[in-house]
Amino acid sequence: PEAIVVSELANRMAERVGDVVKSLMQMGMMVTQNQTIDADTAELIIEEFGHTVNRVSDADVEQVIHEVEDKPEDLQPRPPVITIMGHVDHGKTSLLDAIRNAKVVAGEAGGITQHIGAYQVVTDTGAVLSFLDTPGHAAFTSMRSRGAQVTDIVVLVVAADDAVMPQTVEAINHAKAAKVPMIVAINKIDKPGANPDKVRTDLLQHEVIVEKMSGEVQDVEVSAINGDGLDDLLEAIALQSELLELKANPNRAAQGAVIEAQLDVGRGPVATVLIQNGTLRQGDIFVVGEQYGKVRALINDKGERIKEAGPSVPVEVLGLNGTPEAGDVLNVTSTEAQAREIAEYREKAAKDKRAAAGAATTLEQLMANA
């Protein structure tokens, strides 16, 4: 165990706090129930009361958060999650805005204001699509390195007046490394200097062969400015999504990935979470990275409070004890003790790792200076 407050220790052992205080006194420690005792003392007390010391291990964490394997018959179709990538100024933000604005029903609550770094739209043919706003290349990479694979489809934006640029190539490499299918959106076709075929030819050099070049990667000409081709792009995404046969089990404890998180002055720590499996509900207890909490409120992309969020739904989660990091995985647990133990275990593991890294550097420096 970690250092722990006496009352909390009593609570976790299901013993009376007065008895624990008395026991500590007999050991020569004059503490009140609100004081913290160190881990070694806690361990003695735990044994004194005839309980076993429970050390959380990687294996325990794995077991708690992956308790249930989904059976094929429990899986249901879920919307695709799409990330738009491409070179700076090729129109990623404009395209995201254009799609959102085109698909928001006039007069809808919240209007065109986007509240969180992700949103859902419904296409004219009824397909639901979830777009992620935040992951630029850096976020995409850091999320992947944290084990959160959040994207099902990458839309690669290439400006028709600029063709393939360094960050275009980076995006292609990310998508390939993550084995995520790509759709090429050839943007800015409204511009006088637009040359969509140059984009298609350039892409060949990076082993991206679009349909118009007899390949298998869908390519769509669009203009984020005047809206041309937007519906074609959405249909291309819906088609790609059907091929992927994306599924999840809405009837299980939720698992999700943090897209962004911040400490809000009025609301405390707030995380935008993309639900990846299961359904997250108000009141659920969860661990997320090194933090834990109990869902106090869920807020959707339109700023509305909702009671639950299922697979592929991006949602703002309130009720955290601290601010997690983008890419952290959220898991609902059955008890608060479980959630806290996993969070504390992870925090300690991260600390130990940093300390070890620090020690290694010092040693290296010593060697270098010797």
Give min distance, CB of 188 to Mg ion, in A. 14
Query: Which tokens sit at 314?
Result: 């991006």
Determine if 102 is a binding residue for ligand GDP (CB under 6 A). Answer: no
Torsion of CA 12, 17, 20, 24, to 10 degrees: 120
Task: Rank residues 159 and 318 by Cβ distance to Mg ion and give the closer one.
Answer: 159
Task: Rank residues 129 and 224 by Cβ distance to ligand GDP and give the closer one.
Answer: 224
Exposure string of 166-175, with b = 16+ CB inside 10 Å and e = fewer, is ebbbbbbebb
Task: Rank residues 36 and 141 by Cβ distance to Mg ion and give the closer one.
Answer: 141
End-to-end CA distance of the chain: 40
Residue 66, annotated ligand binder?
no
Give min distance, CB of 239 to ligand GDP, in A. 22
Pairing, β 285-288 against β 280-281: unpaired
Residue 352, annotated ligand binder?
no
Residue 351, annotated ligand binder?
no
Residue 115, annotated ligand binder?
no
Residue 86, annotated ligand binder?
yes
Beta carbons of 285 and 340 less than 8 angstroms apart:
no
Among 32, 93, 113, 251, binds ligand GDP (CB under 6 A): 93
Q: Is 22 helix (H, G, I), strand (E, B) or coil?
A: helix
Residues whose CB is less than 8 angstroms from the CB of residue 300 and which lie 6 or more positions away in sequence, other chains included: 115, 116, 306, 309, 313, 314, 315, 316
Determine if 252 is a binding residue for ligand GDP (CB under 6 A). Answer: no
Over the window 202 to 231, marking each residue x when it contacts ligand GDP by CB under 6 A and - when it does not, the resulting string is ---------------------xxx------
Give min distance, CB of 227 to ligand GDP, in A. 9
Task: Rank residues 86 and 319 by Cβ distance to ligand GDP and give the closer one.
Answer: 86
Question: What is the number of the residue whose Cβ is closest to Mg ion?
Answer: 93
Alpha-carbon span 198 to 177, nearest angstrom: 25
Among 12, 115, 191, 302, binds ligand GDP (CB under 6 A): 191
Among 41, 151, 168, 187, binds ligand GDP (CB under 6 A): 187
Beta carbons of 255 and 331 less than 8 angstroms apart:
yes
Beta carbons of 220 and 187 less than 8 angstroms apart:
no
Alpha-carbon span 180 to 134, nearest angstrom: 17
Q: Which residues pair with 37 in a beta bridge?
A: 4
Which residues ranging from 50 to 89 are in contact with ligand GDP (CB under 6 A)? Answer: 86, 88-89
Counts for the chain of helices (H) and strands (E), in that order? 10, 19
Q: Which does 88 bind (CB under 5 to 8 A by kind): ligand GDP, Mg ion, none?
A: ligand GDP
Beta carbons of 31 and 20 less than 8 angstroms apart:
no
Residue 136, annotated ligand binder?
yes
Among 54, 93, 113, 365, binds Mg ion (CB under 5 A): 93
Q: Is 204 helix (H, G, I), strand (E, B) or coil?
A: helix
Give min distance, CB of 117 to Mg ion, in A. 12
By CB under 6 A, name the binding residues for ligand GDP: 86, 88-94, 187-188, 190-191, 223-225
By CB under 5 A, name the binding residues for Mg ion: 92-93
Give the residue ranges of the annotated binding site. Answer: 86-93, 133-137, 187-190
Give the residue ranges of the annotated binding site for GTP. Answer: 86-93, 133-137, 187-190
